[in-house]
Structure 1
Amino acid sequence: MADFVVLATADWDHPLWTNKQHTAVSLAELGHRVLYVESLGLRPPRPGTADLPRILKRFRRLLRLPREVRPGLWVWSPPVIPGATRGRGLIVNKWLVQSGLKLVKRWLGFLKPLLWTYNPLTLAYLDISTFSGTVYHCVDSIQDQPGMPSARITAGERRLCEAVNVVFTTAPVLQQRLKPLNPHTLYFGNVADECHFRQASSASLSCPDALQAVPKPRMLFIGALDAYKLDLPLLEQLIRTTPQWSYVLVGPIGECDASTDLSAILALPNVHWPGIQPYRDLPAWLAHADVALLPLQLNDYTRQMFPMKFFEYLASGRPTVATAIPSLVPHREAALLCEPTVAAFKAAIHTALAGGGPSAAVGQARAAEHTYTKRTDRMLAVLQQLGLLRCNRPISGAGAEVASGLLISFLQRLTLQPLLLLECVRPGSGGRIAPWNTRLLERLVRRELNSRNWIAAVELYALLWQRHGTVAELHRLMFRRGAR
């Protein structure tokens, strides 16, 4: 099992969990040790007191050791100066993060962990060469969010993609944008905590107190109510023209967009805003709703996103009506997708209330295919194939033939350039302490490569991997910039 440092852009106890927390949990559940590093602050604090509680909470945790929140999963709040993202302030923050992380890794016994980062500005704070492998998990276009330093994030993300070993994206458009920067850019769409939200299909869940007085039929939205991604004009007009329906909006207002103004919508008599609800209670809200809504805009941000709540809605068994953004189109047989117009949404809701559209079983089956554990397992398989993560199960059968064929093809292509080979393949294993026969095997590998004995080289690599868990020389061949 491996050790992972997850560099997040959200605090662990944020009420709206996203990829960061769920991926950390799934890594731990798969048997790995995980250090979850809370947000370093991508944007400066907003004027006023909106960010004050979060800043005060961070200050209270500065001198604390990492806290174990689950078996094998620790959370650490790095000691950074809020808003210091340039000049001397950034220099101080970089020193604080690097020094603090070094001490925390030593305290936890993380000798050579892998870095799994969500922060596009990672290189401004960390020397990623100190990790045994690096992953950038790009889950949305952060630079298109309001208040973000867009140019700085875009430039930092480009540098990061060129430097890391692998880039995972959650939307096809993100993959298209980042793949020219790193050939190992792969698409893994967003998923859901399927078991948690499937509880909504159980008749045993009682109706939340705040929902009992709301007349049926109930249209439910769960998530951050932000103007930069939700189509608020569409939603307001839809609500005004359908007074016979109740609209329940669960979540914080202006979480990422301080300009969000819902006063006109909340003033309507058929709108109910219970605020933020505990994550554990969300299945009960869905269980007693009639339609789950996802009224998104079509803009640069939403074209590059995959809303997490989509599969959460499907897992609950609720009819789902959503804007047909690019990432959702492949799943149109599981939900009612429509253009962002009042007429289209109204027609889709009528269809859902009449029992038309995809069945609950179809939606739940689709959600069951897209869980955090399954996606994380597939991502780890990629890391194993690239030599970044030791495989605990030997590859056999057809898988072994494919792997050997790919490796032979790769070695042939790469070693046709003798000078490149001599430059890349050097004695040693990157400072890693290994038994004497490991170094001997590596020398034998280099000899076979120089002689172009591909089969023998592959067999020796397999021996190194199975006995010692090291393919350092192959790793250098695959990930040096010129080899890409």
Structure 2
Amino acid sequence: MENNNIICFGFAEWDNPYRTNQHHLMERFSHSNRVLFIESLGLRRPTFQQKDLKRIIYRLIKWIKGVRKVSDNLFVYSPLVLPFHKYSAIRFVNKQFLMLQLKYIVAKYGFDEPIIWSYIPNALEFIGVWKEKLVVYHCVDELSANPLIPGDVVRKMEEKFIKAADCVFVTAKPLYDEKKKISDKVYCMPNVADYSHFSTALNEGTKTPFEISSIPAPRLGFIGAVSNYKLDLDLIEYIAEKNKQWSIILVGNTGEGERTADLSRFDKYKNVHILGGRPYKDLPGYIKGFDVCLLPSKINEYTRNMFPMKFFEYLATGKPVVSTRLEALADFRDFAYFSAGREEFEENIRAALQENDSSLKEKRIAVAKKFTWEVRIEEMSMIIDKAYRNN
């Protein structure tokens, strides 16, 4: 896919420390296309806690600054919207004001006849405004299952958007099964990883940060958002309580996508280390210091419909992975230790720590090499080109 204008409606900030599908794809698309990335339109309700108040102030500053040029072909804009999408009056005000903002920017920067690529169903309002070539909906989570998003409003909006889109990409089989009921233009494209980045954990020159190496081994590590609705905190506490000789390390911002994540239960455990978020560029070094990588996901509607990007990121480092049984990962049972309950999770950690077969490490690395963003972009581009010809 080359020489196109792409207007992407994201669900996060461009400078968010968590690099997700939208960051990886749009950055790579910008190598041969022009990309205007519209930052989050604020689907979730603000919690009015300190972190959200800081985010609101930061967002206002970015809006005042206007369009930011990240590279020759990549532009980022933070629109000003009211976050209370539950109310129809607020949605109407947002639509009118956002339309004024974006019409001006699209005209000024020459993003006419674009491909509209959206991670949120709100982009429905812009179909037909700029004589778009195609509309792509990239559905990476069950948005309505997020505890701070108005589920009924989003479900209705999403159904209309799916029907209007020329291509719908979903990242997990359960999502595919549901969205396919709405449209026959749905394609399952599971999440992949930035292999070239995370495989640097294999290099001798990649250093393990002192805050990791100073923690007693064996070290069981998790990288990602430390959120109560995503992580099984009861499982983590069970492992910590029963195995004081194991160090459990959580690397990531806490409470993302929810009102709060109460982690005070871990204060009494000297073997649990909650480090907070760390820069994306440093993550391979952190994982290098782990003996086992953990995916202790809570099983609920949200996680049943997700494909965790960190799965292939972990595999790219060659480290053994112990995970709860996520339906989206069922095809990869030969590459990780999957667990149906907390006792099996504990036993799988023991097995992973006792691994003494280098071929297992090579097997994990080999499969990670097959699931890269470069491969995924090629597959998506073929589908998009076909949709454009049929259009």
Q: Which residue of 2 aligns with 1:174?
A: 175
Residue 289 and residue 368 in structure 1: after superposition, are their counterparts in 2 closer, same or farther (change >3 A)?
same
Q: Is the 8 A contact 1:97 1:126 kept in 2?
A: no
Instruction: Encode CA deviations 1:434-470: one digit per residue, 9 max, x unaligned.
Output: xxxxxxxxxxxxxxxxxxxxxxxxxxxxxxxxxxxxx
Q: What letter is aligned with 1:207?
A: T
Counterpart amino acid of residue 139 in structure 2:
C
- Find the aligned partners of 1:199 and 1:114 in 2 and give their Cα distance: 34
Letter in 2 for 1:342: R
Contact 2:17 2:279 survives alignment (8 Å): yes
In structure 2, how many angstroms separate the alpha carbons of the residues matched to 1:266 and 1:370?
Answer: 38
The structure-2 alpha-carbon separation of the partners of 1:59 and 1:85, relative to structure 1 and needing over 3 Å to count, comes to: farther
Deviation digits for residues 295-334 of structure 1 (CA, Å, limit 9, x no counterpart): 1122211111000110100011111111121111101111
Structure 1 residue ranges without an equivalent (≥5): 389-470, 476-484
In the alignment, which residue of structure 2 is the partner of 1:10? 12
Instruction: Tell me the residue number matched to 1:83.
Output: 84
Query: Which residue pairs with 1:27 in the alignment?
Result: 29
CA contact (8 A) 1:128 1:134 kept: no
Q: Could you tell me whether the CA contact under 8 Å between 1:2 and 1:113 is conserved in 2?
A: yes
Cα shift at 1:96: 2.0
Distance 1:58 1:121 in 2: 19
Residue equivalent to 2:348: 348
Match of 1:206 in 2: 207
Aligned residue identity for 1:281: D
Q: CA deviation at 1:83?
A: 3.1
In structure 2, how many angstroms separate the alpha carbons of the residues matched to 1:367 and 1:53? 37
Which amino acid in 2 is paired with 1:49? Q
Distance in 2 separating the partners of 1:11 and 1:281: 20
Shift of 1:374: 1.5
* Matching residue of 1:239: 240
The structure-2 alpha-carbon separation of the partners of 1:7 and 1:119, relative to structure 1 and needing over 3 Å to count, comes to same
Identify the residue that residue 360 of structure 2 maps to in structure 1.
Answer: 359
**1:285, distance to aligned residue in structure 2 (A):** 0.4
Contact 2:44–2:257 (8 Å) recurs in 1? no
Structure 2 residue aligned with 1:299: 300
Residue type of the partner of 1:5? I
Cα distance between partner residues in 2 of 1:70 and 1:194: 22
> Is the partner of 2:105 in helix, strand or coil?
helix
Deviation sequence 1:381-420 (CA, Å, 0-9, x none): 101112x2xxxxxxxxxxxxxxxxxxxxxxxxxxxxxxxx
After superposing the two structures, state which structure 1 stretch, 81-90 or 286-295, moved more: 81-90
Q: 1:88 to 1:297 in 2, by over 3 A?
A: closer
Partner of 1:335: 336
Distance 2:267 2:36 in 1: 40
TM-score, structure 1 length as denominator? Answer: 0.77
Aligned equivalents of 1:345, 1:2: Cα separation in 2: 47
Please name the residue that 2:249 is paired with: 248
Matched residue SS, 2:374: helix
One-letter amino acid of the structure 2 residue matched with residue 139 of structure 1: V
Relative to the length of structure 2, the TM-score reads 0.95
What secondary structure is seen at the aligned counterpart in 1 of 2:181?
Answer: helix
Residue 99 of structure 2: aligned partner: 98
Quote the residue 1:221 is aligned against.
222
Residue in 1 that maps onto 2:327: 326
Q: 1:140, 1:304 within 8 Å by CA — same for their partners in 2?
A: yes
Deviations 1:312-364 (A, max 9, x none): 0001111111112111110111111121x221111111111111587121111
Instruction: Give CA-to-partner distance per residue, 1:271-311, whole Å, 9 cap, x none.
Output: 11121111110000011110000011222111110001101
Structure 2 Cα separation of the partners of residues 327 and 352 of structure 1 = 22
The residue number in structure 2 matching 1:54 is 55
Task: Select the structure of larger CA radius of gyration.
Answer: 1
2:333 maps to a residue whose letter is: R
1:26 and 1:160 map into 2 onto residues whose CA distance is 25
Shift of 1:57: 1.0
Task: Please list every run of 5 or more consecutive structure 2 residues that lacks an aligned counterpart in the other structure.
Answer: none
Counterparts of 2:197 and 2:72, CA distance in 1: 19
Tell me, yes or no, if the aligned pair for 1:315 and 1:368 is still in contact at 8 Å.
Answer: yes
Aligned: 1:126 with 2:126: yes
Shift of 1:128: 4.3
* 3-state SS, counterpart of residue 382 of structure 2: helix
What is the aligned partner in structure 2 of residue 397 from structure 1? none
Distance (Å, rounded) in 2 between the aligned partners of 1:85 and 1:302: 23
Asked if 2 retains the 8 angstrom alpha-carbon contact of 1:166 and 1:182, the reply is no
Cα distance in 2 between the residues matched to 1:11 and 1:322: 28
Identify the structure with bigger relative contact order (alpha carbons < 8 Å, sequence gap 6+): 2
Take 1:107 and 1:231, find their aligned partners in 2: how far apart are those partners? 47
Shift of 1:55: 0.7
- Name whichever of 223-232 and 90-99 sits farther off: 90-99
Amino acid at match of 2:345: F
The Cα offsets for residues 70-99 of structure 1, whole Å up to 9 and x where unpaired, read as: 331111111223436534432222122222
Q: Counterparts of 2:107 and 2:268 in 1: how far apart (Å)?
A: 55
Q: Is the 8 A contact 1:94 1:126 kept in 2?
A: no
1:55 and 1:82 in contact (8 A); partners too:
no
Deviation at 1:209, TM superposition (A): 2.2
Maintained 8 Å contact 1:170/1:189:
yes
**CA distance 1:141–1:84, change in 2 (3 Å):** closer
